[in-house]
């Protein structure tokens, strides 16, 4: 049975995933942007510290996600109505997204800053000639090299689900920064759950250590994330759900397999500060 799974089911599912992603990106209008991003940053090999991006499926999966994220960032930038701005990517693992934006907006003046807890990620980014600081996202507002008054847009791509306390982090960024917009994306699950997959696996399968980069704490549905955003001091200007499967053809049936092996896709929002709810909570 194990041999059948390895030799037949896994290869078949891998091919279906690639077909699903291709169909999904076409349906969601991301194909052209994927091509543009590939031209700007052709190599994604060093995107992460914990694993190497290789193989057709993984490259397509990550590039499609990047296109979804950058499309949302572009929408936020268009709302600034200015040609000079500062963007900070919190949780940036390699500088890739900021390189994308520098390439797309090469005729405008963009100041960038990357933030990551991982020393290796910060080193990767600095080696590309970009500015980066090493610190926890929750402590960014205290960092001596961080000037909150100069920030126009914060980016946070698949980062807040890794935090011990995402509510406090989001509230702090609303209270302690002068940013205009906060672009956030998270895994899209149709039903909320606690992640902690290393703990869930049990002692027998527990690795020697695990770190923030490969540890999800809270994996929430879009509706529940929306509540968190509002409670912590933000309003949702724009929200988008990107799925890793199409909605309008037979490949939509693979959504059930995606849910078992990965995520439905990713959920993204453009946030603007609004203390309607947070100011009424007396115990911050």
Domain boundaries, the chain: 2-280
Single pTM value for the model: 0.94
- The tens digit of pLDDT for each residue in 170-205 reads 999 999 998 999 999 999 999 999 999 888 888 777
SS3 of 234, please? strand
User: At CA 53, angle to CA 204 and CA 267, rounded to 5?
Assistant: 85
pLDDT at position 171: 97
Q: Tens of pLDDT along 79-115? A: 998 889 999 999 999 999 999 999 999 999 999 999 9
In angstroms, rounded to a whole number, what is the distance separating the alpha carbons of residues 230 and 275?
Answer: 8
The CATH fold of domain 2-280: Rossmann fold (3.40.50)
For the cut 80, the answer to whether the pLDDT of residue 251 exceeds it is yes
| pLDDT tens digit sequence for 160-177 | 999 999 999 999 999 999
Burial (CB count <10 Å: 0-12, 13-18, 19+), residue 18: middle
Q: Which of 81, 86, 68 is nearest to 158 (CA)?
A: 68
SS3 36: helix
pLDDT band with cut points at 50, 70 and 90 for residue 283: confident
Residue 208 has pLDDT above 80, yes or no: no
Integer Cα distance of 88 and 144 in angstroms: 15
Nearest to 60 by CA among 23, 101, 103: 23
* Spatial distance between the Cα atoms of 218 and 13, rounded to a whole number of angstroms: 27
Model pLDDT for residues 231-243, shown as the tens digit of each residue: 999 999 999 999 9
């Amino acid at each position: 049975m194990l041999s059948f799974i390895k030799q037949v089911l896994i290869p078949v599912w891998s091919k279906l995933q690639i077909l699903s992603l291709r169909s999904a990106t076409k349906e969601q209008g991301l194909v052209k942007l994927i091509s543009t991003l590939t031209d700007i940053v052709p190599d994604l090999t060093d995107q992460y510290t914990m694993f190497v991006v290789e193989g057709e499926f993984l490259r397509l999966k990550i590039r499609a996600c990047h296109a979804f994220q950058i499309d949302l960032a572009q929408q936020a930038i268009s709302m600034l109505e200015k040609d000079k701005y500062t963007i900070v990517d919190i949780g940036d693992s390699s500088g890739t997204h900021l390189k994308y934006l520098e390439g797309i907006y090469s005729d405008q003046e963009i100041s960038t800053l990357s933030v990551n807890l991982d020393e290796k990620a910060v080193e990767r980014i600095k080696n590309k000639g970009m500015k980066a600081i090493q610190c926890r996202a929750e402590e960014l507002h205290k960092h001596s090299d961080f000037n909150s008054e100069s920030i126009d847009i914060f980016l946070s791509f698949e980062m807040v689900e890794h935090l011990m306390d995402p509510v406090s982090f989001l509230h702090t960024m609303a209270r302690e920064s002068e940013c205009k917009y906060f672009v956030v994306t998270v895994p899209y699950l149709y039903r909320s759950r606690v992640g902690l997959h290393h703990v869930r696996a049990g002692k027998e399968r527990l690795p020697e250590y695990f770190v923030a980069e490969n540890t999800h704490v809270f994996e929430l549905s879009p509706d529940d994330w929306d509540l968190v955003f509002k409670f912590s001091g933000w309003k949702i200007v724009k929200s988008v759900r990107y799925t890793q499967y199409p909605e309008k053809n037979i490949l939509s049936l693979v959504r059930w397999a995606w849910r078992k092996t990965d995520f439905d896709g990713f959920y993204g929002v453009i946030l603007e500060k609004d203390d309607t709810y947070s100011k009424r909570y007396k115990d911050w």
